[in-house]
Structure 1
Amino acid sequence: MKITKITAAGVNVPLVAPIRWSWGMRRESTRLILQVETDEGIAGIGETMGRVGPERIQYEAQKLIGEDIFDIERILAILRPVPYFFGYAGYGLIAGIEMACWDAVGKALKKPVWALMGGRFRKKIPISGYVFTRARNEKTGEGGETTPEQLLEFSRELVRRHGFRNLKLKVGASHPDVDIATIRMFREEFGPEMGLRIDPNGTWSPQTALRICKRLEPCDLEYVEDPTWGLEAMARLRRDIDIPFATNMCVVDFDQIPVAFRMNAVDVILGDVHKWGGLLTTRKLAAVCDTLMWGMCIHSGAELGISETAKLHMATCTPNLTFAIDTHYPHLADDILAGGKMQYDDGTMSAPDKPGLGVELDMDRFGRYAEAYRKNGLADGYEKDVSRPSGWCPKKFQW
């Protein structure tokens, strides 16, 4: 089954309200939707980061015309040089194409992707609800949560509506004392049964991170994700802090794994079916984590339903993926899937049993959000946060 054509189009899907984090603010999610066509009339769809760009997909696609879509390792090898020049976006390019290939292979074999990658280990996938401080949506009035009390009220509704048994707080956009008060309030409100984790995206200096993490030790956090910047600082802190450290920033490729392991800098790796270069590579990462006795979770980057479903397939067939996976999905105002947004079942989701990824596009929604992309272009996830002081910029250590 030979590849005959690969196409890509950007879409901009709005969020319910702008979400704030340490590097700026996100109002909408720009994603790239791909289709891989074959000479047998079977096509697969995929999704990846918008920053990859449709033009780059079109250029690299020329190298894959005529390749057998079942030869995924060969396809990955052909695209191997791309991240050397384009970093994260290069891995994202590979991931989008590979995802569409898996979808087509599953359709050809009449099997879901999870069945092709090891079979079902678990059916219900626990999801971690993501809590951000939010700016106000000027059109709808949604959002505006900045205080611990407002964040707690928002999170109560998040848990009530979706059944989450795990919450991740995006910290670092507010003063550290506000973050500490918020986390303590969450632990008191939700009790010891609720899994709690935090992520300041490396914005705390090592000195600030040491002070904050020491004060948070009684809160029984699952982990702190990237409390400070870089392996050296993470390793220094880890010696003095009795909370596991996770990362999506300082261990982001296989070359960094042995260094991080020798330094004892991290305890949990956040895989990513885009930033690590695809489903197959993320499965390889899981095997490494299992060997090194590291925990593993799955990162979220404001994915739409195609990628969210790919994450579910990955979690279905990966035994050592024991942490509830991250998601921005409740923050999306809409989706491009047929049937609209997917729903949670008591804080969980399940991968489809249908062939391939098991999802299809709603062409009306796709067309609407593709037009928004054509009109407005790439929506950065780190646009200027107007609530910050004049002259603010996302410097390395903000606190």
Structure 2
Amino acid sequence: MTPAPARDLTVTGVRLTPILVADPPLLNTQGVHQPYTPRLIVEVETADGVTGVGETYGDTKYLELARPFAEKLTGRQVTDMNGLFRLADEVAVAAERTDDAVDTGGLRGVQTADKLRLSVVSAFEVACLDALGKALGLPVHALLGGKVRDAVEYSAYLFYKWASHPAGRPAEQDDWGAALDPAGIVEQARAFKERYGFTSFKLKGGVFPPERETAAVRALAAAFPGHPLRLDPNGAWSTETSVTVAGELGDVLEYLEDPTLGTPAMAEVARRTGVPLATNMCVTTFAEIPEAFATGAVQVVLSDHHYWGGLRNTRRLAAICETFGVGVSMHSNTHLGISLAAMTHVAATVPNLHHACDSHYPWQSEDVLTERLAFTDGRVTVSDAPGLGVTLDRERLRELHRRWLDDDGTYRDRDDAAAMRVAEPGWVTPAVPRW
């Protein structure tokens, strides 16, 4: 039998396409989402003409690193994914803010130059895995060791929300309406359940005083008895407030996510309450794991392949969590279908994934794919097609890139506080703890 000819997996070109995608006026403790949010689409092409795609944050600081990174990637093998991290270290990048402030773009804790590098590497790694899968005729999950489930469960991601962006702001229309009280949150949850079949619900908190958000969770529990519920105030509470709310909602919460900032404060809350604590803020790097696990500060780590450095690092994180008896699930920020496909592939390979994953995808009315990924009964079916199993809609990609080109810089960097000042000119990002 004649062996198949070897594929030439040399990277011959990399395309970076920054885009602006519509985002609804979703509220959080920092402010409100802007009408448009930046994303970066990465395409890696091999000598055989195979192209893989990836996606990550599109803010200026990510682009400044991605561009020289893309230049250095040409001529390398798509199989050399370990080398992506060495390559990132070779690329010069301006010093990033490393104080204790919350990153307003991601609400994921202290931002460092290393986290920035990993967020960029993740998009290139996904693109390389997609290209390799297409070249070999294998789905990405097979390259990660094989799937252990045929569909991945996701949770409805509920937000306090305005009916529309402030007057005079460009915006795409949506039919979700406002949600500013318990009744509005319950109505939003019903819409998520009817449209997508979600059976668990997460509320983004830290927007209103804790008693108001506690009432919303209680209303959800009454409307959807037995459904797993989560509350995420993004570190807006003191330890005392966190303990109080945990006591009031302990009978209905699956877990409480980042009620307060920092591992020591989370550990204190954990010691004083029986409610499991989840995080995507105090454990966002491998270096942060020992303290958090040793002090019992978190019971569920919410991974995010974007800032953990890709899909293979996500599996590594899941294995560490399993070793120490800590739960694992997935965090989500505003993202499109490429990222959802990547999340689904890696989630399909994690045996100890016992909590539904987060996803902003239902909030995004725009995408760069020829076909949107679908939620059925709250789940996304794991594709067995080569690579990620998605196809770029190049015309739509050009349109969203054109929006980025036409922008005067207002939306090229996500800033929830600046967006809030359009409606409330005196708005200042609240100090934490806020309550």
Q: Equivalent residues in 2 for 1:146-165 (5 A)?
A: 146-165=180-199
How far apart are the structure 1 equivalents of 2:249 and 2:433? 20
* SS of equivalent to 1:233: helix
Q: Equivalent residues in 2 for 1:244-255 (5 A)?
A: 244-255=276-287
How far apart are the structure 1 equivalents of 2:174 and 2:135? 46
Q: Specify the alignment match of 2:426 in structure 1.
A: 390
Q: Equivalent residues in 2 for 1:135-284 (5 A)?
A: 135-138=162-165, 140=173, 142=175, 143-192=177-226, 194-219=227-252, 221-284=253-316
Q: Equivalent residues in 2 for 1:41-56 (5 A)?
A: 41-51=49-59, 52-56=61-65
* SS of equivalent to 1:129: strand
Alignment match of 2:383 (pick from 337, 352, 356): 352
Q: What letter corresponds to residue 129 of structure 2 in structure 1?
A: W
Per-residue deviation, residues 286-328 of structure 1 (Å, max 9, x unmatched) = 1101101110011101110000100000111111112111001
Structure 1 runs not aligned, ≥5 long: none
Q: What letter corresponds to residue 293 of structure 1 in structure 2?
A: G
Confirm whether residue 119 of structure 1 aligns to residue 119 of structure 2: no
Q: Specify the alignment match of 2:31 in structure 1.
A: 24
Q: What letter corresponds to residue 285 of structure 1 in structure 2?
A: L
Contact 1:338–1:361, Cα closer than 8 Å, also in 2: yes
Aligned-residue offset at 1:230: 0.1
Aligned-residue offset at 1:388: 5.8
How far apart are the structure 1 equivalents of 2:243 and 2:195? 35
Confirm whether residue 372 of structure 1 aligns to residue 399 of structure 2: no
Per-residue deviation, residues 313-351 of structure 1 (Å, max 9, x unmatched) = 011111111211100111111211012x32211111012
How far apart are the structure 2 equivalents of 1:343 and 1:190? 23
Q: Specify the alignment match of 1:34 in structure 2.
A: 42
Q: Specify the alignment match of 1:72 in structure 2.
A: 81
Aligned-residue offset at 1:389: 8.6
Q: What letter corresponds to residue 333 of structure 1 in structure 2?
A: S
Q: Specify the alignment match of 2:341 in structure 1.
A: 309
Q: What letter corresponds to residue 41 of structure 2 in structure 1?
A: I
* SS of equivalent to 1:32: strand
How far apart are the structure 2 equivalents of 1:277 and 1:208? 34
Name the TM-score, length of structure 1 as normaliser: 0.94
Q: What letter corresponds to residue 101 of structure 1 in structure 2?
A: C
Q: Equivalent residues in 2 for 1:322-337 (5 A)?
A: 322-337=354-369
Aligned-residue offset at 1:80: 4.4
How far apart are the structure 2 equivalents of 1:203 and 1:393? 11
Q: What letter corresponds to residue 20 of structure 1 in structure 2?
A: L
Q: Specify the alignment match of 2:106 in structure 1.
A: none
Farther off after superposition, 41-50 or 305-314: 41-50
Taking every aligned residue pair, what percent have the same amino acid on both sides? 36
How far apart are the structure 2 equivalents of 1:172 and 1:389? 20
Q: Would the alpha carbon gap of residues 46 and 296 (structure 1) be closer, same or farther in structure 2, given more than 3 Å must change?
A: same
Aligned pair count reads: 395
Q: Would the alpha carbon gap of residues 168 and 257 (structure 1) be closer, same or farther in structure 2, given more than 3 Å must change?
A: same
Confirm whether residue 5 of structure 1 aligns to residue 5 of structure 2: no
How far apart are the structure 2 equivalents of 1:392 and 1:214? 31
CA RMSD of aligned residues (A): 1.8
Confirm whether residue 362 of structure 1 aligns to residue 383 of structure 2: no
Q: What letter corresponds to residue 215 of structure 2 in structure 1?
A: A
Q: What letter corresponds to residue 178 of structure 2 in structure 1?
A: G
Per-residue deviation, residues 78-132 of structure 1 (Å, max 9, x unmatched) = 3246699624322111001111000110011100000111112001111101000
Name the TM-score, length of structure 2 as normaliser: 0.87
Contact 2:69–2:87, Cα closer than 8 Å, also in 1: no
* SS of equivalent to 2:203: strand
